[in-house]
Structure 1
Amino acid sequence: MELQQALLSIHPLSENSLHELMHSWDLSTYPKGHVLSKQDTIEKYIYIVTRGIIRAYRIINGEEITFWIGEEGSIACSMRNYVENKPSYENIETLENCTLFRIKISDLTCLYDKNIEIANWGRKFIEYEIIKTENKLIHQLYLSAKERYNLLLKERPQLLQRLPLSIIASYLGITQVSLSRIRSMK
């Protein structure tokens, strides 16, 4: 996915504002397994995935718990870093070789201060992230494991082809054994 397409998918911008925002991002590549942001640190970048898959996870009692997966077009950052400038509670890692655009949070904040259109873009970005988080929470609380799997199969079937089952199971909040059982009932 191109940077322009990813930015405009969040909120429309005038040509001048789009140009200003687009030219503030740098293109970077990272190998599979690269940790973009470490738990309990303050990361200075926000990323847009143009190629590859990344995840956010936390290590709890020695176990990696994946709670977010982003693919092409996704924006990734620690929301705690971004909003409060406090240490993150998660790790963000590449699951494939990735091409990402990145911008310093401080540079984006400066753009917000001087351009109301870009500030509104940032507000819409946060609003969409709130809705995604709310949906994930509601699904975890009210859908069965089988229903969560079927929803993933319907909405993001490509993840099942690109990710190990251990990460899919963790993302769904179930064990790998339970995931295998659900998959065998299909």
Structure 2
Amino acid sequence: MKKFEEILGAYPNVSLEAIEAFKSKFESATFQRGDLLEKEGQVANYLYFIQEGAARSFYVRDKRDITISFSLDGEFVTSMYSFVTRKGSYENIECIEKCSCLKISHEDLQKLFLSYPEIEHVYRLILERYYIALEDQLVFTKFKSAKDRYLELIENRPRIIQKASVGQIASYLDMSIETLSRVRAKI
């Protein structure tokens, strides 16, 4: 829970009472490698905080597995579209290693917003970070060369290289495994 408390500590305008109420609604959960936190077509009912481990978000189209993001310890993860809209998810979220998580239900989170508006503010800031990360990923994959995408991944999120498979990394970087192999060979 230490990393979770550090994240909450980044928001100094939140009362101790609100933080304690927020923490009290999270429950611990452990998932094994390959377990799905969220499944395509189902409504995402939980917001997860990864205390330890790693997960990836992906979808399958035309029998191709397309990785759209990775989440590491100290980060929140869910199918945000589904969690917010209450519609079926278009993505799967899979643990790529054993994960120790904290999770809060959509229902509990909504109740907290009513009792503690400052928690809603923190949630909005978390959503803003999520949105910025998605926009960065869009720019990252559409406007940079394969080599630059790989170098930026090494520089900004090197732990992904250690935790994910070559195929998952290639998919995330929007390139084939062969292209990724060529890029890696030249570095």
> TM-score with structure 2 length normalisation?
0.95
Deviations 1:118-169 (A, max 9, x none): 0101111111111111111111111111111000000111211222111111
Say whether residues 1:143 and 2:183 are aligned partners: no
Moved over 4 A (4+): none
- What amino acid maps onto 1:119 in structure 2? E
Any stretches of 5+ residues in structure 2 without a counterpart?
Answer: none
Match of 1:147, SS state, is helix
Letter of the structure 2 residue corresponding to residue 98 of structure 1: C
Q: For residue 33 of structure 2, give the secondary structure of its aligned residue in structure 1.
A: coil
Aligned to 1:46: 47
Contact 1:112–1:122 (8 Å) recurs in 2 = no
- The aligned runs of 1:21-100 (5 Å cut-off) are 21-100=22-101
Secondary structure at the counterpart of residue 173 of structure 1: coil
For residue 113 of structure 1, report the CA deviation from its aligned partner: 1.7
Q: Quick check: 12-21 or 171-180, which moved more? A: 12-21
Q: Structure 1: where are the runs of 5+ without partners?
A: none
Counterpart for residue 130 of structure 1: 131
Given residue 135 of structure 1, which amino acid in structure 2 is its aligned partner?
Answer: D
Aligned partners of 1:88 and 1:162: how far apart in 2? 25
Aligned to 1:33, the other structure's residue is in SS state coil
- Residue in structure 2 matched with residue 157 of structure 1 by the alignment: 158
**Whole-angstrom distance in 2 between the partners of 1:157 and 1:139:** 15
Alpha-carbon distance between aligned partners in 2 of 1:60 and 1:107, rounded to the nearest angstrom = 33
Aligned equivalents of 1:118 and 1:77: distance in 2?
A: 18
TM-score, normalized by length of structure 1?
0.95
* Equivalent residue letter for 1:147: D
Question: Deviation string for 1:10-57 (max 9, x for gaps)?
Answer: x33221111111111001101100011110111211100011000100
- Report the Cα offset of residue 6 of structure 1: 3.1
Residue-pair matches, total:
185
Distance 1:88 1:70, change over 3 A: same
Q: Percent identity?
A: 30
Aligned partner of 1:118 in structure 2 is: 119
| Aligned-partner SS, 2:89 | coil
CA gap of 1:20–1:139, structure 2 versus 1, over 3 A, is: same
